[in-house]
Structure 1
Amino acid sequence: MRKNTEAYLGFGLMWREENSLFYAENILREKFGDYKAESDIFQPVFCSYYYKEMGQPLFKKFVVTDTVIDKSDIVSVKKLSMDIEDRLRIDGRRTVNIDPFYIDKQQLVVSTSKYRGNRIYMGDNIFVELELFYHHGSFHPFVWTYVDYKEHIPFFNKVRKVL
């Protein structure tokens, strides 16, 4: 990375059926390259919001790609992710959830299409939310930080070392 406007692109991937995950990952790798880092697979907590649509049990992992993006490009990446989710729908229901984020040495920022008071509007119905910030040798969460990101701070600290 050369500028403060650049960061590595990553994704939070959630799925129930592996074939949906594999299809989504093939598209993501084709567009954004191989993974620089990949967390262990885990069962997310507090994801009942997704059960009605996606079923259960659900599985999740975080991946960081080789791709360095301009941070403003997160809007187009989120739109592409939503398109991939739509292509994989069965009977109108998502089979995979793709949450793009970017990470640099100081922050991890997630993109979303849902508004909440702490989120910043980026245009084209996309918002961003600062999930983690780096301070005194580690990433730290905020009150609103999703539990999945809080629980994986050691993973994101390892990713930061690679940066």
Structure 2
Amino acid sequence: MGKIRRVDLVNLVMFFFSSQVEYWFDEVKDTLIGNFGPIDYISDILDFEKYTLYYNKEMGEGVKGILISFERLIHPYQLADIKNITNDIEQKFAVNGNRRFNIDPGYIHHMQFVLATTKMWPHRIYIGKGIYAEPTLMYINGVWKDYDFTYPNYKEKEYKEELEKIRTMYLEKRKRYLKLSEGKNK
């Protein structure tokens, strides 16, 4: 029988994309901070439209995105609630049923990058409240490695480089948290 271990806290990450990403992020930033705490990293603007035109009809042409990291670490079980909150935020700002932006929450653990989704697929695991978790990337031998099913943008070097920056920050936060935890248990 395996021994039940404490689950590591993880770094909340969101991919925020829109055809007017800077404008909409400015509009929504305070709402995100109010729900999820301080932001500690915002990536450079990343091209998204070259990977899919799926969102153009809803959001317009020129869809770009940013990766956002939050300061506070979360427990992985919170991902379902977080995805439902981001879905509500998207709908609050929608016009005639069309979203102006999309927010894809997920998390970075030292070994993986996981995204939340409402869509079932064979490799996705149901985590409750209508939400599935998708293991998007794994971190092995010092690099992000993708799966056959990984979204095309996350297979790209520029996205992996941004995630590497967030992972490095996460490792420092995790180290501080573990030191605090050890100090409380003495």
The TM-score, its normalising length taken from structure 1, stands at 0.92
Structure 1 stretch displaced more, 147-156 or 103-112: 147-156
Letter in 1 for 2:38: D
User: What's the secondary structure of 1:49's corresponding residue?
Assistant: coil
Specify every segment of 5 or more residues in structure 1 that has no aligned partner in the other structure, as ranges.
Answer: none
Which residue of 2 is the match for residue 84 of structure 1? 89
Which one of the candidate residues 25, 30, 35 is aligned to 2:39?
35
Report the Cα offset of residue 123 of structure 1. 1.4
Q: Which residue of 2 aligns with 1:126?
A: 131
Alignment-derived partner of residue 104 in structure 1: 109
Q: Distance in 2 between matches of 1:137 and 1:19?
A: 35
The answer for the alignment partner of 1:155 in structure 2 is 162
Paired-residue identity, %: 30
Quote the offset at 1:22 in angstroms.
1.7
1:24 equivalent to 2:28? Answer yes
Structure 1 or 2, whichever has the larger Rg, is 2
Whether contact under 8 Å (1:132, 1:140) holds in the other structure is yes
Measure how far apart 1:57 and its partner are: 1.2
- Structure 2: segments with no counterpart, 5+ residues: 1-5, 172-186
1:1-20 mapped onto 2 (5 Å cutoff): 3-17=6-20, 18-20=22-24
Structure 1 window deviating more from structure 2 (16-25 vs 70-79): it is 16-25
Alignment correspondent of 1:49: 54
Superposed structure 1 runs of 4+ greater than 3 Å apart: none
* 1:41–1:60 CA contact under 8 A, matched in 2: yes
